[in-house]
């Protein structure tokens, strides 16, 4: 059976790599020797659930969340809770573990706390503390090994570069131990993209990966058969911030219990001015410092979870939720009678130059089948260059610089049986999981939404000739028993 390595580059963008090909020569040369294309992410394209969709092969509706947090209805209105990881035991390394393959899983977002696998697992962002399987592995890791939390890294970009090198060393070590599957996610690009203002600075993050590519390729040639490089979403430059909750408030559809004070308004304006001048890391530092000092007004200004506490539900017809810093948000309609009116108006919102801000308003069931009841009514996707901020602000639009997530990430496959210099166009984020299972000839569960990406393999290869196996009822029962026996359902 094959040996497979999956390198996750959180937030990596194919177009940026192609644009910077003279600086990222190793990555570019690898692309030319691979089958590659765009990996179409979830909507909204957020780190969680995107990585979970990738490794379960399932859409967010089956994962049960569209973001790190999810909305719950209360007696008085709505609040949000941390999305619980119901996906434990459902990822490709669990299927491989069940079939006796040895796996090493490192830093995959959304995997805290780590669970039992046939091998090792170090859980990924967001994790309050290091969590490993087996548990004593945590003691063997370097003392400064931590997955970086985006909230406190504005001054620590150097540290993340060092951590990236350490992670590469870890992969080199693990590869020699001949695990059948190694999965490792590097967060550096996603962290940088939220903190830098120009392309040159963002490319610094890619360079940290680029300089290690040759070592990884040598590994593949010595011990492994296939290398996949994938990202959970791409990135794009921004020009404008849109504050949907501020807009809904201005239009009379959302009411706050406590209005922002003059002092806070001035603070937002200063922050927006600094950000528009490319001083994003200064703004992050100030906000992080104030937040650490417990300033409630700062928290509500940047965090959608806190803004919900400040909404007067008795007068509110709609609100926006999700994660600030991406190109789309959840739109929740509280008063269904106002639905058409709100949708019509939001589709028509324009910036100061008269350009439309909203690209698409998706009804959730247009995007995904079988939506749970606690999913939002709509997902609003903004036009290129527009980012949403879900907290409060002084105005509903303001200029912005830097980068945000976009839906199209990167997919790359390299190795034995893989076609070279083969642009496959688009593939779905849920397609990787069934493709890996097919490589190992493991039955693909019928409820996976993805399909095997056959077009990457050489036409005369055994992989193409071999039929994809699907799970029988017996296989499914075996898997359920494995899950009950080995994987604790509830996180700590």
Pick the closer one to Zn ion by CB: 44 or 64. Answer: 44
Contact 321, 376 (CB under 8 A): yes
Would you count residue 232 as binding Zn ion (CB under 5 A)? yes
Question: Which residue is at the shortest CB distance from Zn ion?
Answer: 47
237 counts as binding Zn ion under rule CB under 5 A: no
| Per-residue mark of binding to Zn ion, 354-373 (x: CB under 5 A) | --------------------
Q: Which stretch binds Zn ion (CB under 5 A): 70-78, 123-131, 182-190, 420-428?
A: 182-190
Enclosing H/E stretch for 462:
helix 462-465
How near is the Cβ of 127 to Zn ion at its closest, in Å? 15
Q: What Cα–Cα distance (Å) separates residue 277 from each residue in 60, 235, 263, 334, 405? A: 37, 20, 21, 38, 20
Among 10, 90, 180, 237, binds Zn ion (CB under 5 A): 10
Contact between 236 and Zn ion per CB under 5 A: no
Q: Smallest gap, in angstroms, from Cβ of residue 390 to Zn ion? A: 17
* Locus of tokens 């004070």: 261
Question: By CB under 5 A, is residue 234 in contact with Zn ion?
Answer: no
Contact flags string 29-48 toward Zn ion, x per CB under 5 A: ------------------x-
What is the Rg, in whole angstroms, of the alpha carbon atoms belonging to the chain? 22
Binding-site string for Zn ion from residue 256 to residue 295, where x marks contact by CB under 5 A and - marks none: ----------------------------------------
On whether the CB atoms of residues 41 and 430 are closer than 8 A, the answer is no
**Site stretch for Zn ion (CB under 5 A), options 32-40, 205-213, 229-237, 459-467:** 229-237
Nearest Cα neighbor of 230 from 386, 97, 455, 53 is 53
Task: State which of positions 109-148 bind Zn ion (CB under 5 A).
Answer: none
Neighbour-count burial of 150, counting CB atoms closer than 10 A to its CB (0-12 exposed, 13-18 middle, 19+ buried):
middle
Q: Give the C-alpha separation, 47 to 41, whole Å.
A: 9
- Considering only residues 4, 7, 11, 189, which one is a binding residue for Zn ion as defined by CB under 5 A? 11
Q: How many residues bind Zn ion (CB under 5 A)?
A: 5
d(CA 74, CA 71): 10
DSSP string, 312-325: -GGG-SEEEES-TT
Strands 422-428 and 35-40 come out as parallel
From 99-107, 185-193, 214-222, 270-278, give the range in contact with Zn ion by CB under 5 A.
185-193
The binding site for Zn ion (CB under 5 A) comprises 10-11, 47, 190, 232
């Amino acid at each position: 059976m094959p040996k497979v390595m999956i390198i996750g580059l959180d937030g990596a963008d194919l177009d940026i790599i192609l644009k910077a090909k003279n600086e990222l020569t190793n990555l570019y040369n690898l692309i030319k020797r691979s089958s590659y294309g765009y990996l179409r992410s979830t909507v909204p394209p957020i780190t969680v659930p995107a990585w979970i969709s990738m490794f379960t092969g399932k859409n967010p509706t089956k994962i049960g969340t569209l973001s790190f947090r999810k909305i719950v209805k209360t007696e008085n209105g709505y609040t949000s809770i941390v999305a619980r990881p119901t996906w434990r035991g459902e990822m490709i390394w669990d299927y491989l573990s069940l079939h006796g393959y040895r796996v090493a899983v490192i830093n995959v977002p959304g995997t805290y706390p780590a669970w039992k696998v046939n091998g090792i697992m170090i859980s990924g962002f967001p994790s309050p503390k290091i969590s490993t399987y087996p548990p004593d592995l945590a003691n063997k890791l370097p003392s400064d090994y931590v997955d970086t939390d985006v909230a406190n890294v504005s001054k620590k970009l150097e540290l993340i570069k060092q951590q990236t090198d350490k992670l590469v060393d870890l992969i080199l070590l693990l590869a020699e131990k001949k695990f059948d599957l190694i999965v490792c996610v590097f967060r550096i690009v996603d962290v940088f993209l939220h903190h830098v203002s120009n392309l040159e600075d963002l490319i610094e993050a890619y360079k940290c990966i680029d300089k290690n590519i040759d070592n990884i390729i040598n590994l593949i040639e010595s011990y492994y058969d296939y290398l996949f490089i994938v990202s959970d979403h791409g990135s794009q430059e921004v020009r404008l911030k849109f504050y949907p909750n501020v807009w809904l408030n201005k239009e009379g559809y959302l009411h706050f219990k406590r209005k922002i004070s003059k002092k806070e308004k001035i603070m937002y304006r200063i922050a927006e001015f600094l950000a528009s001048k490319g001083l994003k890391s200064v703004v992050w530092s100030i906000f992080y410092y104030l937040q650490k000092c417990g300033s409630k007004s700062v928290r509500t200004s940047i965090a959608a979870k806190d803004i919900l506490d400040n909404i007067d539900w008795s007068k509110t017809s709609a609100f926006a939720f999700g994660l600030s810093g991406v190109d789309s948000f959840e739109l929740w309609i509280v008063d269904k009678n106002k639905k058409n009116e709100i949708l019509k108006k939001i589709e028509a919102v324009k910036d100061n130059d008269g350009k439309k801000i909203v690209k698409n308003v998706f009804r959730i069931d247009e995007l995904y089948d079988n939506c749970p009841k606690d999913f939002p009514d709509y997902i609003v996707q903004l036009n290129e260059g527009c980012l949403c901020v879900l907290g409060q602000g002084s105005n509903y639009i303001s200029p912005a610089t830097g980068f945000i997530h976009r839906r199209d990430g990167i997919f790359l496959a390299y190795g034995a049986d893989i076609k070279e210099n083969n642009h496959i166009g688009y593939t779905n984020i849920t397609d990787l999981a069934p493709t890996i299972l097919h490589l190992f000839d493991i039955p693909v569960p019928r409820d996976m939404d993805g399909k095997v990406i056959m077009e990457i393999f050489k036409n005369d290869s055994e992989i193409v000739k071999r039929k994809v196996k699907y799970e029988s009822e017996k296989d499914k029962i075996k898997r359920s028993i494995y899950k009950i026996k080995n994987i604790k359902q509830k996180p700590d």
